[in-house]
Structure 1
Amino acid sequence: MLVMALILTSINHLLHAETNTLNSNKILEPFIFEIGSNFSDIQNKFNLEAKTSGVNFIKESNWYRLKTPVGFISLQEWQGKLHCIAYDINIDDIEIKKKLSDYLFEKYKNNFEWVDRVDNGFYVSYESSNDSIQGIYAYSLGITISFTSNEIRKAETKIRFPNL
């Protein structure tokens, strides 16, 4: 009887964790945006808060912030398109954070594979196999998962390092 109770308790905990993860994924579903998409479509659907970025090498770009049930999202608009999205995951459950990370990297994988994994001790960077976007899992100060177009990264590099 005791063994059966322990098994049922374990199953309930697993089901609860899985349900929370699925709910978290579903909660983020409305906040998945395609890199390079028309930014006005996002602005029309959501009430975005203008944000001042600490470092913004592309002066013509604009940053916005949007609240989600699991934290905030920062969005970078440049030339009318979405070029960067950063999910600040503010939940305590490590397993759910991992599942959300896997979910986001899968959602932003668009006809390519994630390659060239580099861990510098502050974040893990991934490049897309088609050279279209970079994905970053930053873990040193909380959890931030971001996706940035290589188009804006190249423009920023030209500004920061004009002699390259």
Structure 2
Amino acid sequence: IQTNFSLEAKNSGINFIKESNWYKLKTPVGFISFQEWQGKLHSIAYEINIEDVEVKKKLRDYLFEKHKNNFEWIDRVDNGFYISYESSNDSIQGVYAYSLGTTISFTSNEIRQAETKIRFPNF
């Protein structure tokens, strides 16, 4: 990605690992945000800014299929704001956020665990 696009690193927010870098890329249907930590891509979020419900559904289905890597999506939880999916090999979480715009994100469990320690140090 860095060789094909000019991406500027942004500092992480307070609830994220401060040694990680965030990058944002504009696309025809919204933005894609990337989180890099320790030389690896740990999170990718697609902000979809289109109104067509059918196109959103196709994009959601496509992205969840594309990010599936030798596992199945299991443990679907809908809390009224987003639908969360866990990978069957416990490697990543997929989230379809629909309440305030549409964001589809995929985050490694490695960084989720590290960030949980930041947010809840006594947990």
Q: Shorter-chain TM-score: which interval?
A: over 0.9
Instruction: Tell me by how many angstroms 1:55 deviates.
Output: 4.4
- Once the two structures are overlaid, the 10-residue window that deviates more, 153-162 or 77-86, is 153-162
Instruction: Tell me by how many angstroms 1:46 deviates.
Output: 1.4
Q: Which of these two proteins has the greater Rg computed from alpha carbons?
A: 1
The equivalences for 1:27-106 within 5 A come to 42-106=1-65
Is the CA contact 2:81–2:99 (under 8 Å) kept in the aligned structure 1? yes
Query: Structure 1's 75 and 158: CA in aligned 2 closer, same or farther, altered over 3 A?
Result: same
- SS state of the match for residue 43, structure 1? coil
RMSD between aligned residues: 1.3
Is the CA contact 1:87–1:145 (under 8 Å) kept in the aligned structure 2? yes
The unaligned stretches of length 5 or more in structure 2 are none
- SS state of the match for residue 91, structure 1? coil
- Distance in 2 of aligned mates of 1:149 and 1:158: 15
- Distance in 2 of aligned mates of 1:56 and 1:66: 22
* Aligned position for 2:89: 130
Query: Greater helix share, 1 or 2?
Result: 1
Instruction: Tell me by how many angstroms 1:57 deviates.
Output: 2.3
The unaligned stretches of length 5 or more in structure 1 are 1-41
Query: Greater strand share, 1 or 2?
Result: 2
- Once the two structures are overlaid, the 10-residue window that deviates more, 104-113 or 151-160, is 151-160
Paired residue total: 123
Is the CA contact 1:125–1:137 (under 8 Å) kept in the aligned structure 2? yes
- Distance in 2 of aligned mates of 1:127 and 1:63: 23
* Aligned position for 1:31: none
Instruction: Tell me by how many angstroms 1:53 deviates.
Output: 4.8
Instruction: Tell me by how many angstroms 1:54 deviates.
Output: 4.5
* Identity across matched positions, percent: 84
* Aligned position for 1:108: 67
Which residue identity lines up with residue 74 of structure 1 in the other structure?
Answer: S
